Amino acid sequence: MPAELIDGTAIAARIRGEVSAEVATLKASGVVPRLTVVLIGDDPASAVYVAGKGRACVEVGMDENTIRLPASTSQHELMELLDCLNADPAVHGILVQSPFPKQIDPGAVIRRIDPSKDVDGFHPVNVGKLLAGDRDGFVPCTPAGIQELLRASNVATHGLHCVVVGRSNIVGKPMAALMVQDGPTANCTVTICHRYTRNLASFTRSADILITAVGRPGLITAEMVKPGAAVLDVGITRIPDATRKSGTRLVGDVDFEAVREVAGLITPVPGGVGPMTIAMLLRNTVRAAQRLAAA
Ligand code: GUN
């Protein structure tokens, strides 16, 4: 029997509905949650992502403003802008879209954002809170979204082996930290695999939950998946496809059609993990506003 599909679009819509209600409550008390996105340069993919984030904010009733800076922006100019946004009480969430132009030091940018406005969850204070199991911090949006997908799909994660393929700071490492935590939809035994892992299949085949985030289409084949496993695919790569009007299509890291015959649960690409990232960004922003309002 083919795997059950995890419908990320529907689960994200439910979360956006919950966020809308929380925004309405905040607005009734005079607080309009605001996300400020900083976009440096003219990377077309980043422009598309940022536009999506902006639209989503507006749909749930939040304020959004995108500050577009030229690719020539200096580190100093960006730092000054971040200081202004940190000090502005009307701004609840700050997100600087990556990748950055070469002259910008990504680590310095992340460290400059006030951790209480770091809705990406990338600041070392938030990373530390995640590792320490302190629920006070902001959790990076994609891993938080994947945990929500597992929760919504009623996966009893306790004691399962969760294998994360990819060790990025945005997805792989925080994902592993979340799943190893002592708490609901966690308590897994976690393995992180990466480009130097020897015999990747020997790890993926023992995964009850397999999460892949590397951006390599077709990396995960049916033989690499344990029958009945939950497979969550973060990869999103545009490949040529002559059968499509656009001439391209989006694919994940998983050989979807073949793995679907083996797995118990699987996320499609698109429509799986992707919609959750924005939903969790909205949730983080409304939390930031709630905390500021309560302070
Ligand atoms: N670029 C790609 N994904 C992300 C993300 O989640 N946050 C930021 N700030 N930049 C990104």
Active-site entry in 27, 42, 43, 53: 53
Cα 90 from chain centroid (whole Å): 25
pLDDT of residue 1: 83
pLDDT in tens, 64-83: 999 999 999 999 999 999 99
Shortest-distance atom of ligand 1 to CA 281: 6
For residues 102 and 83, the answer to whether their CB atoms sit within 8 Å is no
Distance 253 CA to ligand 1 centre (A): 19
Question: Exposed (0-12), middle (13-18) or buried (19+): which is 27, by Cβ within 10 Å?
Answer: middle
**Are the C-beta atoms of residues 94 and 119 closer than 8 Å to each other?**
yes
Residue 53 designated active-site: yes
Token reading at 260: 């679907």
Q: According to the model, what pLDDT value does residue 295 have? A: 87
Gap from CA of 295 to ligand 1 centroid (Å): 28
- Is there a catalytic annotation at residue 97? yes
CA–CA gap between residue 259 and residue 158 (Å, rounded):
24
Residues of the chain with pLDDT under 70: none
Within the chain, strands assigned E span 4-5, 34-40, 63-69, 93-96, 161-165, 189-193, 209-212, 230-233, 237-240, 248-251, 265-266
Q: Which of 117, 118, 120, 129 is catalytic?
A: 120
Q: What pLDDT, on a 0 to 100 scale, did the predictor assign at position 150?
A: 98
- The DSSP string of 182-222 is SSTT---EEEEE-TT-SSHHHHHTT-SEEEE-S--TT-B-G
How much is the pTM? 0.97
Q: Is 173 a catalytic residue?
A: no
> What tokens does 282 get?
């909205």
- What are phi and psi for residue 275, nearest 5 degrees? -60, -25
Cα–Cα distances in angstroms (integers) from residue 116 to residues 38, 89, 95, 174, 286, in the given order: 17, 12, 12, 18, 12
